[in-house]
Structure 1
Amino acid sequence: MTKRYIPVLTTLDRELPYFLVDAGQRWVQEHIVQPEGYLYQWIQCREGEGELLLGSKSYRIKEGMGMLLFKGTAHEYYAISSVWIVDWIVFDGQQVESFLKHIAGISRSAAYYVSQPEILLSRIQNVLDIGNSENTMKSMQCSGAIYSLLTDIVQYASLYPNNSANSLNFKLKPLFDYINQNYSCPITLEILAEVTGLTPQHLCKVFKKATNLRIFQYVNSYRIQKSKELLLQNPQMQIKEIAYQSGFEDSNYFCTVFKKLELLSPNQFRKTWLRKEVKGILRSNSGENPPPTNLPVS
C-alpha cells in the first residue's frame, strides 16, 4: 500500500538539526530530472530496477540498493524495468551536512549497496508512523528518526557489495577476539593479518573503514582500558608491572599513551578514582543509620 507524509513546516521546525520534508513508501517511481538538485534524499529500491545519473556517471539501482542525494546536486533517475518501487525520504537541517561529511565521511551523492535493507526501510516506516499519529511532538520525533536513519546508512550502506561497516565488523570478529585474548602479549600486524586471512595492507584498509581507527590505535585503547582495571584492582602494584601486564613492554610509552587517552597519568588516575571510592564508602556508611525524624514529643 502506497503511503506518503508531507509535514507543514514551521520556522522552529527548520531550526532543528534534522527535519523532515517529505516521505513515501512503496512508491511507483516516475522519471525525475533535477538539474539544480533538491534537498537531501535517501531513496531505496524495493522492487524492479532504475538508473541514477550523476554528472557523467550512471548507476544501476537494484533491489537492496539505495541512492543518497546531497542537497543542490544535479541528478536524474528513472525506471528501467516495467515497474520500479521505492521508499524515500527528503530531509534537511543544520547538522545534516556536518554529520555526513565530517562524522560519516560521506562527501557526495552516490548509489549504495545495503547489507540489511529492511533496517533502513523500517526507519522510513517509523517516520510515516510518526507523521500519521496524533502526537504533538511529531517534528522532534521525526528529527530523531532521521538521525537514526543516517547512522544506519553509515553502518549498513557501502559503495561496494558486502563492504558496509556492519559487514566489515563481522569479517573482523576473529581479530577482535584475538586482541581480547592476547592483549598482554606482543601483537604484530602480520599476526593479525594471518588471523583474519587478509593481507596486512588490505586489513589496514578494512579496519579503518569499519572503525575509523588505525589498528594499533584500537590495540592501545583496549590495553589502556585493561590497565585501568588493574590500576584500581591492585592499588599496590607498580606502574611498570601494570604496563607489562597490559601489553606494553616500555612503561614510559605506556604512561605517554595513557595520558594522551585519559588526560591523566596512571598514578593520577589511580589516586583520583580510589579517593572517589573511599568518599563513596564513607558517605554510604554515614547513611546506614540515619537519625530518627519522628521522635515522640515528651
Structure 2
Amino acid sequence: MYKRLLPLITESDKELPYYVVDAGLHWNQEHIVRPEGYLYQWIQCVEGEGELITGGKSCRVKEGAAMLLHKGAPHEYYAVSPSWIVNWLVFDGHQVDSFLNRTAGITASGALYVSRPELFTAKIQSIMDIGQSRYALKSLEWSSLVYSLLIDMVQYASIHPHSSASNLNLRLQPLFDYIDQNADKPLTLDEMAEVAGITPQHLCTVFKKTTNIRIFQYIHSVRIKKSKELLLHNPLMPIKEVALLSGFEDPNYFSTVFKKHEQLSPNQFRSIYYSKTRS
C-alpha cells in the first residue's frame, strides 16, 4: 500500500535552505512528461524498471538506482516493466542548487547508482512519520532530513556503479595503509597507483573525489603528524633529523609545510608544548 505526504507550504517554509514539497513511499509510478521541468526530485527505484529521458539522453532506472532531477529541467519517465515501484521526494530551498552543483558535483539531471538504498528509504519514511505526528516544528525537522538525504547522496550515490565516496574509500584503504607505513620514505605516484590497482592519472582523480584533497596534500598531513610525535617525544632531536625521519629530505621545506599546517614553526611547536608541561 503506497503512502503520500503533501504538506501545506507556508511563506516561512520557503525561506528555509531546504524544504519538503511532496513525498511518497511504494508508489506505482505512472507516466510523467514535464517539458518545462518541475522542482528538485529524488525518485528511487524499489521494484521493477523504468526509463528516464532528460537532457537529450535516456537511461534505465532499475533496483539499486535512482533519479535526481534538477529544478526546471525538462524530463519524462515511465515504467518499462508491468509495474515500477518507487520512493520519492520533491524538495526545494535556496541552498539546494549550491549544494548539488558545488558540494555534490551533480550538475545535471540523470540516473544515479545507490550503494545504500535503505538509508534513503529511511529518510523518506522519517519525513512521512513526522507528517503524521503532532510535532510543532515539522518544517525544521523536514528541512534537516532533506539536508541529511543530500549528504547521503554525496556519500552513497554516483553516476557510475561502485563509485560512491563510501565505496571509493574502501577501495583506497590499502593505499591509506601503505602511505601510513611508508610516509618516512620517498613516495612516487607510480608506486602508489600500483598499490591502489589503478593508473596514476585515475588515482589522482579518485583520491581527490574520495578525500576532497590532493594525494600529496594527504601525504604531507601524515608526515606532519609523524613529525609532531617526534618533536614531542624527542626534545633534543635536531629539526633536520625530525624532517628526515618524517619523510622530508629538505629541512627548510619541512619547516615551511609544518608552519602552513600548524601556524607555528617546528621549534615554536615544541617550545609551547614543553612550557605547558613545566607550568
Amino acid at match of 1:167: N
Which residue does the alignment assign to 2:238? 238
Match status 1:132 vs 2:132: yes
Structure 1: segments with no counterpart, 5+ residues: 283-298
Counting only pairs closer than 5 Å after superposition, residues 40-55 of structure 1 correspond to structure 2 as: 40-55=40-55
Which residue does the alignment assign to 2:76? 76
Query: Whole-Å Cα distance in 2 between the matches of residues 119 and 137 of structure 1?
Result: 23
Counting only pairs closer than 5 Å after superposition, residues 218-237 of structure 1 correspond to structure 2 as: 218-237=218-237
Which residue does the alignment assign to 1:285? none
User: Which secondary structure does the structure 2 equivalent of 1:36 belong to?
Assistant: coil
CA apart distance, 1:222? 1.8
Which residue does the alignment assign to 2:86? 86
CA apart distance, 1:97? 1.3
- TM-score, normalized by length of structure 1? 0.87
Which residue does the alignment assign to 1:261? 261
Query: Whole-Å Cα distance in 2 between the matches of residues 97 and 201 of structure 1?
Result: 30
Kindly tell me: are residues 93 and 263 of structure 1, through their superposed partners in 2, closer, same or farther at Cα, counting changes over 3 Å?
Answer: farther
User: Which secondary structure does the structure 2 equivalent of 1:4 belong to?
Assistant: strand
Moved more, 77-86 or 179-188: 179-188
8 Å contact 2:55–2:109 — kept in the other structure? no
8 Å contact 2:33–2:77 — kept in the other structure? yes
CA apart distance, 1:139? 1.4
Amino acid at match of 1:260: K
Query: Whole-Å Cα distance in 1 between the matches of residues 7 and 116 of structure 2?
Result: 28
Amino acid at match of 1:61: V
Query: Whole-Å Cα distance in 2 between the matches of residues 132 and 150 of structure 1?
Result: 23
Which residue does the alignment assign to 1:142? 142
Please give the per-residue CA displacement for 1:124-155, whole angstroms capped at 9, x wherever unaligned: 12222222222212211111111111111111
Which residue does the alignment assign to 1:30? 30
Query: Whole-Å Cα distance in 2 between the matches of residues 130 and 272 of structure 1?
Result: 51
Counting only pairs closer than 5 Å after superposition, residues 118-129 of structure 1 correspond to structure 2 as: 118-129=118-129
Kindly tell me: are residues 97 and 274 of structure 1, through their superposed partners in 2, closer, same or farther at Cα, counting changes over 3 Å?
Answer: farther
Query: Whole-Å Cα distance in 1 between the matches of residues 73 and 252 of structure 2?
Result: 51
Larger C-alpha radius of gyration, 1 or 2? Answer: 1
RMSD across aligned positions (CA): 1.9
Which residue does the alignment assign to 1:20? 20
User: Which secondary structure does the structure 2 equivalent of 1:192 belong to?
Assistant: helix
Kindly tell me: are residues 201 and 18 of structure 1, through their superposed partners in 2, closer, same or farther at Cα, counting changes over 3 Å?
Answer: same
Query: Whole-Å Cα distance in 1 between the matches of residues 266 and 130 of structure 2?
Result: 49
Which residue does the alignment assign to 2:162? 162
Please give the per-residue CA displacement for 1:249-281, whole angstroms capped at 9, x wherever unaligned: 112111222233333333344445555x45xx8
CA apart distance, 1:206? 2.0
Query: Whole-Å Cα distance in 2 between the matches of residues 4 and 143 of structure 1?
Result: 18
Percent identity over paired residues: 62
Amino acid at match of 1:177: D
User: Which secondary structure does the structure 2 equivalent of 1:172 belong to?
Assistant: helix
Match status 1:63 vs 2:63: yes
CA apart distance, 1:58? 0.4
Amino acid at match of 2:96: V
Structure 2: segments with no counterpart, 5+ residues: none
User: Which secondary structure does the structure 2 equivalent of 1:134 belong to?
Assistant: coil
Please give the per-residue CA displacement for 1:153-194, whole angstroms capped at 9, x wherever unaligned: 111111111111111111111001111222122211122122
- TM-score, normalized by length of structure 2? 0.92
Query: Whole-Å Cα distance in 2 between the matches of residues 166 and 265 of structure 1?
Result: 36
